[in-house]
Amino acid sequence: MHTKNAVTSSSFFPTPELGWMSKVHVNRPAVVRYAEWIKKWRTVKGNWQAAWFLKAVTCIDLTTLSGDDTPSNVYRLCFKAKHPIREDLLKALDMHDKGITVGAVCVYPARVTDAVNALKAAGCNIPVASVAAGFPSGQTPLETKLAEIKLAVEYGAREIDIVISRSLVLTGQWEGLYEEIRQCREACGEAHMKTILATGELGSLTNVYKASMIAMMAGSDFIKTSTGKEVENATFPVGVVMMRAIREFYWKTGNKVGFKPAGSIRTAKEAITWLMLVKEELGVEWLTPELFRLGASSLLEDIEKQVSC
């Protein structure tokens, strides 16, 4: 692999002892070269391509995060979540009876009840995910973040996508970041927690790696690239660094943490490249909705278009 030594850190264990942080270094040029190589990967063709497309569908967090969201458009989103690909297309692939749905429906806390009710009425068990903790800026007091998380869970969210306080990363307050995420994890209760790092606002790939490790140490079930609201969202260099952190964390602890790239993933080809990268970096066992999600609002439309070709 081109970046065998792109990411290095000292030996450590996942505890609040964070002395190892000062020794972390990310070789940015090596990571960027590897990312450029990734862009040149040839995509799969034929029936294999259709299979990858459908795999991508099952990993999508179908999302609406708009100020004008209403119960009716959340209902339509939930219908699409249960029927992501047209029935005639699935029949042509002999996949109409496989129960293919998206991975989750993601909304604001105020729309969680609408989504839960719509999915219940549709008779499906797709989880509802809610953004929380001051999404998207993270610029709210911790007490408010925790209250918002608890409300979203109370409303029926089974997954919570929190966003970190970027200022804690940019000022090197790693213990403070650990404690904030730990308290968010506690507030989530039985709900799964995805921690959004907002990587485009962290300043460096080294900070992305450190924040990834802190998030996992504090109990995150997933680490996620972006809110989708930043200028720069999911990029391959960031993805590589985060997946290397996940891999090292797994080697150190035996705990598997999921990965979710989000924002600016609009085409089926891009989705397949992300799937291939996860397979390359983490292995096929990560290619399930339990360990990999794609954050997207318009991706599904292009996948359906490609499946019909």
Q: Alpha-carbon distance 96 to 12, whole Å?
A: 48
Indicate which residue of 260, 269, 279, 305 is catalytic.
260
Q: Are 132 and 160 in contact (CB under 8 A)?
A: yes
Indicate which residue of 40, 224, 229, 252 is catalytic.
224
Give DSSP secondary structure letters for 117-148: HHHHHTT--PPEEEEESSTTT--S-HHHHHHH
Angle (nearest 5°) at CA 230 between 55 and 303 = 25
Q: Alpha-carbon distance 60 to 80, whole Å?
A: 12
Give DSSP secondary structure letters for 252-281: HH----EEE-BSS--SHHHHHHHHHHHHHH
23 has catalytic annotation? no
Q: Alpha-carbon distance 86 to 307, whole Å?
A: 10
- Whole-angstrom CA distances from 287 to 163, 186, 276, 283, 294 are 24, 27, 9, 8, 11
260 has catalytic annotation? yes
Cis (ω within 30 of 0) for the bond into 136? yes
Residue 5 is classified by DSSP as: T
- What the block records as the tokens of 63 is 């999302």
- At position 20, the amino acid (one-letter code) is W
- What the block records as the tokens of 214 is 């802190």
Catalytic residues: 224, 260
